[in-house]
Amino acid sequence: MLKIRLPRISLRDLVAIGLPALAITIAAFWIAALFIKPAPPKTLVMSTGAETGAYHAFGKRYQEILARNGIELELRPSAGSAENFQRLVDMNSAVTVAFLQAGTGNAEDGSELEMLTSVFYEPLWVFYRDHRTLDRVRDLAGKRLAIGAKGSGTHSLAMRVLVANGTAKAPTKLLDLGADDAAKALIEHKVDAAFIVGAAELPSVKKLLFEPGVKLLSFNRAAAYTRLFPFLHSVTLPQGSIDLIRDIPARDTQLLAPTANLVAHESIHPAHVDLLMQAFAEVHGQPGVLHKTGEFPTVKDPTFPESAEAKRFFKSGTPFLQRYMPFWAATLVDRLIVLLVPIIAVLLPLLRIGPPLYGWRVRTRIFRWYGELKLIELEIKDALDPSQRAALLGKLDGLEQRALKRSVPLAYSDLLYNLRSHIELMRSVLARPTGQVAASTAPASGA
């Protein structure tokens, strides 16, 4: 026996509704994908400074913290801030984040850089040997001065200060010595003064603070320097703050201090910024000789625009998901949340309106046939002679044939059967005597 498969759906109507809905959904997911950052790379490259310096030492502490979350922080030593800046702006260097001493570089040359945070003051220490107590840089004119290695932040800042005081020219002798070499040269009486930029914990600074016969210059015009060089801050090294027993320093000392800043290339992954900001807070959140609790990390240098992610961290702290989930899971969920937008905003509404729209399309086709049936009914009232009635019967037959050929889903078969019964009712009206046709009730009008 031949099996007849009755249609359960109308492919034509399903395609007519489904294709536009699919196109809208794909477009929505495509737009959402534009806002999804790829997974954060497993490696982040940081340019620090000399391997014996504070920058590199702090970099190692960040390295340990990031390693807890599966991110390898690759440290690349350098000559100092100037070289770090060049690495950041060089797209071929692979360096994404670096230490920059305030005053290094500018927003015009580093248009693709953004400020993450300032992490500590790194004062300009001017140690000297003299029987007098000096309080002005111009008192060093004509002496042998160690001003830092070329390419370092120390060298750059020392030259600015010396030029501003008119002491950079002969007979002053300028020697390009790094912090350790400068300290050694001053101890051995090979130079008369040493300019060193760095934290109070820097070994060369500590050594010179305790060295007999070596004095620390106090900038008595510190306020004037901060006006001339806005990236500098005036900080006070309190008497006895280094060693209370030995009373080092022996007096309150005014120092000029740029900040040590962490600057990143704009291509850095936001998840890496979150991790770095957490590392900075952990390492630099404690008080120091020159700053109070909570003073760092924060942005104190406006040279580069502040990172949006860093700004959010200062406002809200650790991202919500990372407070309760491992880093890799938090970043995955964070990316998936973006995909929920098209699902909630587009896909769910389409799923709700799709079935009713599909049913409306199926019904609309049957209702069009009812429209034709209504027109035939109106013509029946004026049909008086047999030829007119025959023509109307032909129209009814044609309408019925078209309805029979059209495939209708089973769920809507009742509409088709109702149409056929109303067609049959019109035939019975035409079969009545002429006088009774006009008085007949129009059955199709209520369909």
Residue ranges of domains in the chain = 11-18+355-446, 41-119+264-318, 123-257
Share of the chain above pLDDT 90, in %: 45
Contacts of 404 (CB under 8 A, 6+ apart): 420
Q: How many CB atoms lie within 10 A of CB 64?
A: 11
- Can you read off the two tokens belonging to residue 130? 């003299």
Predicted confidence at residue 89, as pLDDT, reads: 94
Share of the chain above pLDDT 70, in %: 83
Tell me the mean pLDDT in the region 267-281: 91
pTM of the full structure: 0.66
pLDDT by residue (tens digit) across 315-349? 877 666 666 667 666 665 666 666 666 667 776 77
- Annotate 353-365 with b (16+ C-beta within 10 A) or e (fewer): eeeeebbeebeeb
pLDDT by residue (tens digit) across 349-371? 777 777 777 777 778 877 888 88
Tell me the mean pLDDT in the region 385-396: 80
Task: State the average pLDDT for the chain.
Answer: 84
Given the candidates 3.40.190.10, 3.40.50.670, 3.40.220.10, 3.40.50.720, the CATH classification of the domain at 41-119+264-318 is: 3.40.190.10
pLDDT band at 17 (very low <50, low <70, confident <90, very high): low
> Are domains 41-119+264-318 and 123-257 of this chain identical in fold?
yes
Q: How many CB atoms lie within 10 A of CB 421?
A: 11
233-237 and 253-257 beta bridge pairing: antiparallel
Tell me the mean pLDDT in the region 222-244: 94
CATH domain 123-257 topology: D-Maltodextrin-Binding Protein; domain 2 (3.40.190)
252: pLDDT strictly greater than 80: yes
Predicted confidence at residue 2, as pLDDT, reads: 43
